[in-house]
């Protein structure tokens, strides 16, 4: 049931915003409905599909499993912010996703990219099996995952200065 709004202040994509939110509002709804950041998608709202994956304080999180009030004081980064900031890891992944056709409908893509960005910041030379393991928390219903693995492999190679394989 509805209850009194709580005022929170957080940084989203480098801009500080103060919002009055119901305690039951999750971060994804705050991003989408209040801030117009519709690149964060909702696929299941119970933390399984990964479509809503964003960065909270530098680590990936399911925006549907984080209440907005929990993000009070947090630094949140979404696909829009990382794109506009020309994050080099993301840029390499975006280029590879387009070149390899690693997306079809594109609904899962922002969440997948967030997971892949975090992965490639940690691991420079992943095997295909490593990649498959790491992105298993992000569901894709259109592709066969094969092209996504290709694209992440290519991006890793480019970031390591090896060029696409």
Partner 1 sequence: MDPLGAIDRPNSYIGRSVPRPNARRLVEGRGQFTDDLPSPPRTVHVAFLRSPYAHARILGIDLDAARALPGVVLVATGADIATVCSPWVGVLTHFAGLKSAPQHPLAIDRAVWLGEPIVAVVAATRALAEDAIDLIRIDYEELPAVTDIDAALAPGAPVIHSALGDNLAFQLRLENGAVDDAFAAAHAVVEDEFVFNRHTAVTLEARTILADYDASENRLTVHQSTQTPYQMQDVYARHFSIPEANVRVVARDIGGSFGMKLHVYGDEMATVALSIMLRRPVKFVADRLESFVADIHTRAHRVRARMAVAADGTITAMAVDDTTGIGPYSAYPRTSAVEGNQAVRLMGGPYAHRAYRGTLKVVFQNKAMMSQYRAVGHPIACAVTESLVDRAAAAVGIDAIEMRRRNLLTDDVYPYTSPTGYVFERLSHHQCLDALERACDYASLRREQQTLREQGVFRGIGLAVFIEITSPGPAFYGVGGAHITAQDGCVMQLDPSGAVRVQVSVTEQGQGTEAIMAQIAASAVGVPMEHVRVVTGDTETTPYGGATWASRGAAIGGEAVLITGRVLRQQLLDLAAAILQAQPETLDIADGLIVDATDGRERLSVAELARIAHFRPDTLPPGVQPQLAAARNHVPRGQAFAFTNGIQASHVEVDIETGFVRLLGHWVVEDCGRLINPLLVDEQIRGGVVQGIGGALFEECIYSPEGQLLNATLADYLVPMAGEMPDIHVSHVTTPTLHSQLGAKGAGEAGTAGAAAAVLNAVNDALAPLGARLTEIPLTPQRILTALGQIQRQSQ
- Sole window of 35-43, 65-73, 118-126, 154-162 interacting with partner 1 (rule: CB under 8 A): 35-43
What character string, x for contact with partner 1 (CB under 8 A) and - otherwise, covers 110-129? x--x--------------xx
Residue 62 engages partner 1 in binding (rule: CB under 8 A):
no
User: Which alpha helices (DSSP H) does 8-127 contain, by range?
Assistant: 27-29, 79-84, 88-100, 109-122
Q: In terms of C-beta density within 10 A (0-12 exposed, 13-18 middle, 19 or more buried), how is residue 63 classed?
A: buried
- Sole window of 69-77, 117-125, 144-152, 153-161 interacting with partner 1 (rule: CB under 8 A): 144-152
The two structure tokens encoding residue 132: 């498959």
Number of residues that bind partner 1 (CB under 8 A): 60
Q: If you count them, how many residues does the chain have?
A: 165
Residue 51 engages partner 1 in binding (rule: CB under 8 A):
yes
CA gap 30, 93 in Å, rounded: 26
- Candidates 10, 19, 66, 80: give the one binding partner 1 (CB under 8 A): 80
Instruction: Please spell the DSSP secondary structure of 30-49, one letter per residue.
Output: IIIIIT--TTS--S-SSSSS
- Sole window of 66-74, 118-126, 147-155, 157-165 interacting with partner 1 (rule: CB under 8 A): 147-155
Contact 100, 150 (CB under 8 A): yes
Q: Which residues bind partner 1 (CB under 8 A)?
A: 1-2, 22, 24-25, 32, 37-46, 48-49, 51, 78-80, 83, 93-94, 97-110, 113, 128-129, 131-133, 135-149
């Amino acid at each position: 049931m509805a209850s009194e709004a709580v005022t929170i202040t957080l940084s989203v994509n480098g801009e500080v915003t103060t919002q009055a939110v119901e305690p039951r509002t999750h971060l994804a709804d705050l991003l989408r409905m209040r801030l117009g950041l519709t690149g964060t998608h909702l696929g299941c709202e119970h933390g399984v599909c990964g479509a809503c994956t964003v960065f909270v304080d530098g680590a990936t999180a399911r925006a549907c499993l984080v209440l907005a009030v929990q993000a009070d004081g947090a630094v949140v980064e979404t696909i829009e912010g990382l794109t506009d900031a020309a994050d080099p890891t993301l840029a390499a992944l975006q280029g590879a996703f387009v070149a390899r056709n690693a997306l079809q409908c594109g609904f899962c893509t922002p969440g997948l990219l967030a997971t892949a960005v975090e992965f490639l910041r940690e691991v420079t030379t992943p095997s295909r099996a490593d990649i498959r393991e790491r992105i298993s928390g992000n569901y894709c219903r259109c592709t066969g995952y094969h092209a996504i693995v290709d694209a992440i492999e290519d991006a890793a190679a480019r970031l390591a200065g090896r060029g696409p394989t």
